[in-house]
Structure 1
Amino acid sequence: MNASDVMTADVETVTPDDEVGEVLARLADVNFSGFPVVDEDDHVVGVVTEGDLVDLFEVDDRVLWIPIGIPPIVDTLTYAFDLPGDDVDIAAHADDPISSVMTTEPVTVDADASVDELLDLLANPEQDINRLPVLEAGKLVGIITRQDLLRGLKAERGAAGAA
């Protein structure tokens, strides 16, 4: 089993020039949390996620962080309280190009990448990658999420058990 066996081939994408407001509207209508960003030749130039868009509208100076707990007896937990203030002006960024917030140089895999390579990337807590664009000859041909990989592994196990 390799990347092409578990990938979703019908990939919804956005372009670097798509506006933030358009991408937010599209994310509201789908059941996933990000898009590969492709140029006119279907080359992946970035990835944009809900997290990237939330960061765009997060107001750091309105959040009060309070550590609670007494180490080493109790682990310290940090709580965030959103202080009263002006509402976030979404319209201020709605016309910005998605290229201004996307993650550039995303991690990608080739269609023949092994399951072990996929596991190394998707299970690495330091990188915290949830989606891998799949490339063939440098062009986007699919995408693999953690869920796709888990479904593939479950199906492979089921097939091995039935044999």
Structure 2
Amino acid sequence: MSVRARDIMTSEVESVGSDEEISTVLTRLSRAEFNGFPVVDDGQLVGIVTQGDLVDLFQPSDRTLWIPIGFPPFIEPIDYAFDFSWDDLDVNLDLAKHAGKPISTVMTEDVVTVEPDASLDEVLSVLADAERDINRVPVIDDDEIVGIITREDLLRTLDRERE
């Protein structure tokens, strides 16, 4: 008998609602042993939110300050770049600006899922897809989330199957 998604998924899935505040989800994530939550409303999967989604709120790429400094007798100035994106003031301002917003403003809505009867190969192709670069895949049955499979779950299963 071949291994199916239902055999390797974690059935007890911690999730968040789409209207939960970003600050609440950040707090829960900081205490969790994983780095993302499915977003569920009325039992239906509506998105997924990860640490990466939340970190992007606090490290915009447009905060590098370029300062031209010329040193005679050089004709061309030398540019020095200073990245201020992670100083305490900016992080605190960004946190205050985003903290009360609902998690739906940063979640990924187009969630890749598998069904409980998906084969090990199907799960592997989803979690090993370099273009998607996802670390977890929700398992959906009749539009309800019944489990989740992480890359770690998959690796453990592949290791057991190899033996």
TM-score range, shorter chain: 0.7 to 0.9
- CA deviations over 1:102-139 (Å, ceiling 9, x no partner): 00020010011011111111111111011100011110
Q: Pick from 151, 154, 157: which aligns with 2:159?
A: 154
1:126 maps to 2:131: yes
2: CA distance, partners of 1:3 / 1:81 = 47
Could you tell me which amino acid in structure 2 is paired with residue 126 of structure 1? E
With normalisation by structure 1, the TM-score equals: 0.82
- Give the aligned partner of residue 71 of structure 1: none
- Give the aligned partner of residue 74 of structure 2: none
- Give the aligned partner of residue 96 of structure 2: 91
**Does the C-alpha gap of structure 1 residues 150 and 81 become closer, same or farther in structure 2, counting only changes over 3 Å?**
farther
- Give the aligned partner of residue 140 of structure 2: 135
| Aligned residue runs from structure 1 range 17-28, under 5 A | 17-28=19-30
2: CA distance, partners of 1:36 / 1:43 = 10
Stretches (4+) displaced over 3 A: 83-86
RMSD: 1.8
2: CA distance, partners of 1:64 / 1:6 = 48
1: CA distance, partners of 2:151 / 2:22 = 25
Matched residue SS, 1:150: helix
1:32 maps to 2:3: no
2: CA distance, partners of 1:3 / 1:26 = 27
Please state how far the C-alpha of 1:60 moved relative to its aligned partner: 2.0
Matched residue SS, 1:87: helix
Unaligned stretches of 5+ residues in structure 1: 66-79, 159-163
2: CA distance, partners of 1:134 / 1:51 = 21
Matched residue SS, 2:161: helix
With normalisation by structure 2, the TM-score equals: 0.82
- Give the aligned partner of residue 46 of structure 2: 45
**Percent sequence identity over aligned pairs:** 56
**Does the C-alpha gap of structure 1 residues 126 and 64 become closer, same or farther in structure 2, counting only changes over 3 Å?**
farther
Please state how far the C-alpha of 1:157 moved relative to its aligned partner: 2.5
